[in-house]
Amino acid sequence: MYAHYGCNQNQETCVYIKFPAVVGETTVQHIVQSVTCITGGALKIDHIEASVKEIDWDILDGKVVFHGVIHKQIFYVSKDNYVRHQSEDVQFSGHAEIPGAEPDMKAEVTATIRGPVTYQLLSRGRLEQHVLVDVTVRVTKTEELPVPLLGSVSGTVISNGAAQSLAVVAICDSMWRLIGFTYTNDSGNYRLVSLPPGKYYVVAARAGLYEVKEVTVEACKEANVNFFQSPSTDCAAAGIPSYLCSLLAGLLGIVTV
């Protein structure tokens, strides 16, 4: 996953996160049949070990064509009653249907041997074998997700040179819709975070003092807004909507002893 910068349709600065989206995934079973000549002949087969040595693929429209190699070790009892072994590589190929797959996409293909190798000794020199292979195919494509880069607002609420703890600081959008609120700490400081870029109204209230300020939030930046530089003793006279005045009164009532 990685990102690059740009703008969305609302001209807000964004980071575009690129990620692999799954187009399709399936598992197909493929039987690989072969007839092998046993060097010197065999009285019987002891056992056969098999593994997928390599696997490769190509993506076509709507399908993935795969081709690989199965490596086998054949252990057998020779005419002189010794257990010997013989190795061989057998090629195989097939395809998996993946609707929506296109040549410029990416694929992950894994192949595993399912169960033991079945075999039949046709004669002392000829061995027929069947290997069942599970081939799992997963096709992905790269997609982009725009994520707005967020900003924040912080500052201090001070009255007559004294820091105001437990002051309410609320933030509204340009239509005076409440976005969130917080209380100041013992030092009179506050911080509002995770704000999309844009214009906001920030309101502070404490002990009968009210003040509202406009602020522009920028992506990945923190705006500083301090309060009670020009306070009002009347909430409505400060230009604050009545519903917000009622809310501020209630929030202040919670922390007032």
Whether residue 98 sits in one domain with residue 157: no
- Residues 59-103 pLDDT 10s: 999 999 999 999 999 999 999 999 999 999 999 999 999 999 999
Number of domains in the chain: 2
Whether residue 127 sits in one domain with residue 36: yes
- What pLDDT is attached to residue 219? 85
Whether residue 163 sits in one domain with residue 133: no
Q: Report the percent of the chain where pLDDT is more than 90.
A: 84
Classify residue 11: in a domain, yes or no. Answer: no
- What pLDDT is attached to residue 9? 37
104's tokens: 């410029």
Classify residue 2: in a domain, yes or no. Answer: no
Classify residue 190: in a domain, yes or no. Answer: yes
Give me the CATH number covering residue 239.
Answer: 2.60.40.10
Distance CA 184, CA 206 (A): 10
Q: Which of 92, 112, 139 is the last residue of a domain?
A: 139
- What pLDDT is attached to residue 8? 39
- What pLDDT is attached to residue 10? 41
Neighbour-count burial of 22, counting CB atoms closer than 10 A to its CB (0-12 exposed, 13-18 middle, 19+ buried): exposed
pLDDT at 5 over 80: no
- What pLDDT is attached to residue 85? 92
- Residues 118-174 pLDDT 10s: 999 999 999 999 999 999 999 999 998 887 789 999 999 999 999 999 999 999 999
Whether residue 128 sits in one domain with residue 168: no
Q: Which of 106, 139, 172 is the last residue of a domain?
A: 139
Distance CA 256, CA 239 (A): 24
Classify residue 145: in a domain, yes or no. Answer: no
- Residues 181-229 pLDDT 10s: 999 999 999 999 999 889 999 999 998 999 999 999 998 899 999 999 9
Q: Which residues pair with 188 in a beta bridge?
A: none
- Cβ contacts of residue 165 below 8 Å, gap of 6+? 183, 184, 185, 186, 187, 188
pTM over 0.85: no
Q: Which of 110, 139, 168 is the last residue of a domain?
A: 139
- What pLDDT is attached to residue 211? 97
- What pLDDT is attached to residue 13? 61
Whether residue 182 sits in one domain with residue 124: no
Whether residue 129 sits in one domain with residue 31: yes
Residues of the domain holding 166: 150-255
